[in-house]
Each structure stands twice: as structure tokens, then as C-alpha cells.
Amino acid sequence: MKLTIYGSHQCPGCVEAKKILTEKGIAFQFIDLSEDLHSLKQFLAFREQEEIYQPFREAAKKADYPEEGRIGIPCFVLPDGERSMDLKYVLKKIGQ
């Protein structure tokens, strides 16, 4: 199993993460949430449960638009199933 990224081609952070991973020769699967409704539903389901998304949920309770419009992508899913939004952490975990 390889690294999976939930993101969007419209998200500058996602585009940059893909570029860095490609330059480093790291294989990954990119799931474009802006093009695939089923994948978007999967992402939203785990976003509502994962601890790393707690700040987004708290901000959403206080405002009409959560966390200044951020939705929590790119989201990296490591081969062991761990999720992170921190590319530097992901690179460290996979030995880069």
C-alpha cells in the first residue's frame, strides 16, 4: 500500500504537496475530492471523526465558514492508515 492524498487540483497546498512528492520520487495515489463525489463523502465521514480535525469542527460551531474557509486538505493517509495534514511529518514518517 502506498501513500494516499485526499485533496483537490484547485487547492494550492495540494498542488504543492503533489509537486514535492513527485520530485522526491514518492509514489502516491491522489484522490481529487473536487471531481469524485464518492471520495468526497468518504473524506467528510472520516473528517467528522478524526482527532486531527477537531480544530475545524470547533471553528465550524463558531462561524458560518469553518477555520477561515479551510477544509483540511491535503490530507495524507500513510500506508499504516495514520492520517496527517502535515507534509513534513509525512516525509519524516516515510523516511524522506
CATH number of the domain within which 27 lies: 3.40.30.10
Put simply, whether the predicted model's pTM sits higher than 0.95 gets the answer: no
Percentage of residues of the chain with pLDDT beyond 90: 45
What does the pLDDT read at residue 30?
96
Higher pLDDT, 58 or 70: 58
Instruction: Provide the number of structural domains found in the chain.
Output: 1
Higher pLDDT, 27 or 67: 27
In 3D space, the residue among 3, 2, 5, 1 whose CA is nearest the CA of residue 74 turns out to be 5
- Which domain covers residue 54, as residue numbers? 3-93
Beta strands 28-32 and 3-7, pairing class = parallel
pLDDT value for 66: 47
